[in-house]
Structure 1
Amino acid sequence: MAAAAAAVVPLPQEVSAARRLLVEVEGVAAEAKKKIAVVFDQMIGCNFTMNLPSPCREAWTERGAVDLFARLFLHKAEVHAKNANGNSALHFAVFSGQRGAIERLLDRGAQVNESNQAGYSAFDWAGGSVNDHRDAAELLLSRGANVNARDDEGNTILHCAAHFGLVDVAEIVLDVGADVQTTDNLGWTALHHVVWRSAMIEKYRVDYQKKLRIAQMLISRGINVNAVTNDGMTALALAKRDLPADSPIRTFLVGLPPQLQQQ
């Protein structure tokens, strides 16, 4: 029987090297985590409040480092602390879609409608990135987020979701009563924001098919397609100015029934 046992076949040199490297990396990572925990203990102290620099707060929320997060609260970290721009830990947790971090912050008393210096609440940040954070938006709404809150430029989360093509967030806020007719300080409706071809949209390669879906959603919810901006432009006029002739959004707006459009 012993003779019948399978012989150990040596692994190719590259595979062996890769495995050794993996073991080394895992060891370094584990050691780094221990060192980080020690540094946090040294930084925090019993009376430390969570007035960490912005990069520190971003790091543990973006990576979902709940263990470090819990360590901060163990040492009585202040959940309402803000950085120089007025952003709280809740802002960063929402921006990165970290539901677990959001729940812990809210349970500790984080204010869902509190704004930063630009007037953006944490809820606004659920619609302020190219990522469609449906879970974050639903959680914040369940905790009392104001769906029609405005930032300093008059934008609501619906405007932001329309601009970035966040279909899920747009649908959620419309379902709970977002004002489809509301305009920002420039007189732009959410439909104008769908059409708007900003530099950020191009930089992050936002999906125009998703923006089209939001346009269709807004039309079905009764948005006024004839609403004009402060400088007198309808969404269709803006589309004809800024979007190529074969743009699906422009084509959709041009094809609306005559009773809806008025040029």
Structure 2
Amino acid sequence: MNALLLSAWFGHLQILQILVNSGAKIHCENKDGLTLLHCAAQKGHVPVLAFIMEDLEDVPLDHADKLGRTAFHRAAEHGQLDALDFLVGSGCDHSVKDKEGNTALHLAAGRGHLAVLQRLVDIRLDLEEQNVEGLTALNAAAEGVHPDCVQLLLEAGSCVNALTQVVSPPRDGCLPLASEH
């Protein structure tokens, strides 16, 4: 992480502005492919997001990091509702998937971020969208043991009997008995 990325990560707008005005390269990434926008979105620094989008030139809103995640994904995954709202208002692509096929809905549900999940439901993301393992957001919420998110998704119309495409044993390595199916 260089000084510019660190200032975005920690929300130090004034430092960011000084660095930019001193000629810092704004199109930089860390080793994971995180840009200024990713850093500010993940940490929920809306004033920094606003500066990046409004005052800097040619900053791609939907640039993906090495996991295929955009700033929108990062905000959802880390429960940053205000940052998510800012990115939605800026016109980001809501339907983009990361390299594992996860949408922002999958990430918020899997991490148990109820307020973010509600907002994503409100903007009408596809509840039945599947990632590469065939998991829906409901599956991700259930796997992450987030009953409030499961309830929200069911009330929003998620299919309670949706099946995954990949059969994998439970994480403890034990397979269920035939009578448990």
Category of TM-score, reference length = shorter chain? 0.7 to 0.9
Alignment match, 2:74: 125
How many residue pairs match? The answer is: 171
Q: Which has the higher contact order (CA 8 A, sep 6+)?
A: 2
Sequence identity percentage: 25
Q: Distance in 2 between matches of 1:139 and 1:67?
A: 20
Q: Distance in 2 between matches of 1:114 and 1:77?
A: 19
Deviations 1:146-166 (A, max 9, x none): 111100000000000001111
Say which of 124, 127, 131 aligns to 1:177.
124
CA RMSD of aligned residues (A): 2.1
Q: Distance in 2 between matches of 1:175 and 1:80?
A: 32
Structure 2: tracts of 5 or more residues without a match:
173-180
Say which of 23, 37, 49 aligns to 1:90.
37
Please show how residues 143-154 of structure 1 align to structure 2 within 5 Å: 143-154=90-101
Say which of 216, 219, 229 aligns to 2:151.
216
Alignment match, 1:231: 166
Structure 1: tracts of 5 or more residues without a match:
1-53, 198-207, 244-262
Alignment match, 1:115: 64
- The TM-score, its normalising length taken from structure 2, stands at 0.85
Is 1:99–2:34 an aligned residue pair?
A: no
| Shift in alpha-carbon separation, 1:135–1:57, aligned structure 2, 3 A | same
Deviations 1:56-97 (A, max 9, x none): 345312332111111122123333222232211111111111
Alignment match, 1:140: 87
Q: Indicate the structure (1 or 2) with the bigger Cα radius of gyration.
A: 1
| Shift in alpha-carbon separation, 1:139–1:191, aligned structure 2, 3 A | same
Deviations 1:31-80 (A, max 9, x none): xxxxxxxxxxxxxxxxxxxxxxx153453123321111111221233332
Say which of 97, 114, 133 aligns to 1:186.
133
Give the secondary-structure state (helix, strand or coil) at the position aligned to 1:87.
coil
Whichever residue aligns with residue 125 of structure 1, its letter is R
Is 1:65–2:26 an aligned residue pair?
A: no
- The TM-score, its normalising length taken from structure 1, stands at 0.60
71-80 or 156-165, larger mean C-alpha shift? 71-80
